[in-house]
Amino acid sequence: MTLMVAVTTAFLTTFMSSSLNLSIPNIGKEFSTGAAAVGWVVTIYMFACSSINVPMGKIADARGRKKMLKTGIALFTVSSIAGAFSVSIWMLLGCRLVQGTAASMLFATNNAILLDAFPKEKHGTALGKSVAATYTGLSLGPVIGGILNHYFGWRSVFFAATIIGVIALSVAARGLTKDENITPAEHHDTAGSLLYMAMIMSVIFGLTNLTVSRYAWMVLTAGIILCIMFVRTEMKAEDPIIRVTMFSEDSIFTLSNIAALLNYAATFAISYLLSIYLQQIAGYSSQTAGLILIAQPIVMALLSPGMGKYADRIAPWKLATGGMGIITAGLLAMTQLGKNTPLAVLIGLLLFVGIGFAMFSSPNTKAIMSRVAPKDYGVANSITATMRNMGQSVSMAIVTIVMGIYLGSSTLQNARTSTLLHSMKVSFIVFVVLSAAGTLMSMKRGGSDQKKA
C-alpha cells in the first residue's frame, strides 16, 4: 500500500508539472490573457514546488511524514478540482500555487515513507519503482496533456489529476498507519526557511528568464548572494532546515547531489531540442514527434525498477557512473545529427540515452538516501527534488541562451535549417561537457568510499 501511494504521488506531481504545456494557448484564449501572464500557469507551480519542498521536508521529519503526505494529497486533489472550475486566470493561478505547495509536501515525504516501510536491502528496488513513476509522469505529461486538451479541453487535465488524487488519498487513508517515534523540533528555523525560499525563487527566475528580461542577471546574482547568506545562517542555527554538515562531512552525499544536478542539466532539454529537430528540420507533425520522443521515457520506466534492484546488490555509484557514461556517449552522438539522419538512428539514440538514465537515476537516489539517518529522510528527499528542479532550469537556460545567440529575434519557423542545426549542435556540446563532469563526480564517489573504508 505504501509503495502504491509513493508511486501514484510520484507520477501525479510530475505529471501536473508538464501536462499543461500544450494547453497554454487555449487557456490564454479563454481568459483573454497575454502570453506573459498565462505563462505563469506553468511557472508558479514550479516555483512553489522548488522553493518550499526543503522546509516542508524539515517539518515532515519533525511533525510526521504520513500526516503531511495525506494532507498534501488532499490539498492537491481539492486544488485540482477547483482548477477545473476556474472562472478567471487569477483563480487558476491561485489553484496552481496551492497545487505546487501540495506537490512540495508530496516530494518531501513519498520516498521518505517508502524507505521507512522497506528494509535497507530492498531500498533500491522500492526507489526504482518510484523513480520510474517520476520520469513517466514528467515525460508523458505533455503527451497525455496534449491529447486531453485536444479532445476534451484544458480543464480535463485537472479532472484527470483529481481522479488520480482521489485514488491516492483512498489508498493512503486505508494503507498508511499513524506516524510513530516523532520528536518535534524545539526551534523552527524561520530565517533559514525564508532565505531558502527567496534563494531558490531568485535563482530559478534568473535562469529561466536570462534571454527574456534584462533584470534576470540581477535576480540571479541576488540568488547567489542569498545562497551565501543561507549557508552562513544555517551554520549558526540551533535546528537548521538543512544541516550544512550533511555536505561538508560526507563527500559521497555531496558528490551524489552534484552528479544529479549535472545529470538533469545535461538531459532535461533533450526532448525540447529534438522536438524542434523533428518538426522544423525532419518535417514531422507535433503528434508524430511526440510519439517518437516517447521512446526514451518508455525505456526509463521499464528499466528503472530493475536498476534499483541491482543497486541493492552492486555499489550504487558504479551503476550511476556507468549510466552517466552512456548518457555522455549518447549526447556526443547527438551533436552529429543532420538534415538527413535516419529516423532509426535517432530512435536508437533515444533508447540508448534512456538506458543510461535508468542506470543513473534509481542507484543515485539510493546513494543519496543511504548517506543520511532515517530522521533526515524528508530533508534529503527534498534536496534531491531541488537538484532535479535546478538542473532542469539550467538545462533550459542553456538552450535559450544558445538559441538567442544564433537565432536572435528570428522565430523557429523562419530560421534557416543550417542555423537551427548549428545551435542544436552547440547546445548538445555543452550538455556533453556537463554530462562528462557528472560522470567524473560520480566516479569520485568510489575513491571517497574506499578512503572511508
* 387 neighbors 367 (Cβ within 8 angstroms): no
Which tens digits make up the pLDDT trace of 28-37? 888 887 766 7
Backbone angles phi, psi at 97, to 5 degrees: -65, -45
Q: How confident is the model at residue 181 (pLDDT cuts 50, 70, 90)?
A: low
- pLDDT value of residue 58: 80
The span from the CA of 58 to the CA of 97, in Å, is: 20
- pLDDT value of residue 410: 65
Measuring CA to CA, which residue among 77, 83, 85 is closest to residue 106? 77
What mean pLDDT do residues 355-380 have?
84
The pLDDT of residue 450 is above 50: no
In DSSP notation, 77-119 reads: HHHHHHHHT--SHHHHHHHHHHHHHHHHHHHTTHHHHHHHHS-
The span from the CA of 120 to the CA of 130, in Å, is: 16
- pLDDT value of residue 326: 96
Greatest alpha-carbon span in the chain? 64
Q: How confident is the model at residue 453 (pLDDT cuts 50, 70, 90)?
A: very low
In DSSP notation, 331-379 reads: HHHHTT--TT--HHHHHHHHHHHHHHHHHHHHHHHHHHHTTS-GGGHHH
C-alpha torsion sign, points 170, 4, 130, 347: negative
Which tens digits make up the pLDDT trace of 47-74? 888 888 788 888 887 778 888 889 999 9
The pLDDT of residue 384 is above 90: no
Of residues 446 and 182, more confidence is placed in 446
The pLDDT of residue 354 is above 60: yes
Q: 338: alpha, beta or left, given left = phi > 0 and alpha = psi -120 to 50?
A: beta
Candidate from 148-157, 315-324, 410-419 with smallest mean pLDDT: 410-419
Q: How confident is the model at residue 425 (pLDDT cuts 50, 70, 90)?
A: very high
Q: How confident is the model at residue 130 (pLDDT cuts 50, 70, 90)?
A: confident
The pLDDT of residue 355 is above 90: yes
Of residues 366 and 433, more confidence is placed in 433
Cβ neighbours, 10 Å, residue 57: 31
- pLDDT value of residue 352: 95
* 12 neighbors 76 (Cβ within 8 angstroms): yes
- pLDDT value of residue 178: 72
The span from the CA of 385 to the CA of 342, in Å, is: 36
What mean pLDDT do residues 254-280 have?
87
The span from the CA of 41 to the CA of 103, in Å, is: 15
* 331 neighbors 438 (Cβ within 8 angstroms): no
Of residues 450 and 409, more confidence is placed in 409
- pLDDT value of residue 289: 79
Percent of the chain residues topping a pLDDT of 90: 23
Of residues 180 and 92, more confidence is placed in 92
Q: How confident is the model at residue 182 (pLDDT cuts 50, 70, 90)?
A: low
pTM to 2 decimal places:
0.79
